[in-house]
Amino acid sequence: MMVLTMERVTIRLPRQQVDMLEKLVEAGEFPTVSEAVRYAVRELIEKHANRVIKETDQISFKV
């Protein structure tokens, strides 16, 4: 079984975004604000990771 270690990352967000994250938690969409942010980060990575990996591979082959 693989155990994931969590790293702490500190970010600053506009008050409106924090308020919306808290509303998502209050509405039951996420158990915590941290989980909502982790979800958003996973979505961002899934959307962009393949392109970034391909670009990185191309750069390393050019060297």
Number of domains the chain is built from: 1
Quick one: tokens of 45? Answer: 């990575």
Evaluate whether residue 28 is within a structural domain.
yes
Q: Does some domain include residue 38? A: yes
Q: Report if residue 4 sits inside a domain.
A: no
Q: Residue 54: its pLDDT value, please?
A: 73
Is the residue at 35 inside a domain? yes
Query: Would 52 be classed as within a structural domain?
Result: yes
Give residue 50's domain range.
Answer: 15-62
**What is the model's pTM?**
0.74
Q: Examine residue 47 and state whether it is found in any structural domain, yes or no.
A: yes
Task: Confirm if 11 and 19 have CB atoms less than 8 A apart.
Answer: no
Q: What is the pLDDT of residue 15?
A: 98
* Domain-located, residue 40: yes
Whether the predicted pLDDT of 63 surpasses 60 = no
* 63 vs 15, more confident: 15
Rounded mean pLDDT, 48-56: 76
Residue 19 amino acid letter: D
Percent of the chain having pLDDT more than 70? 86
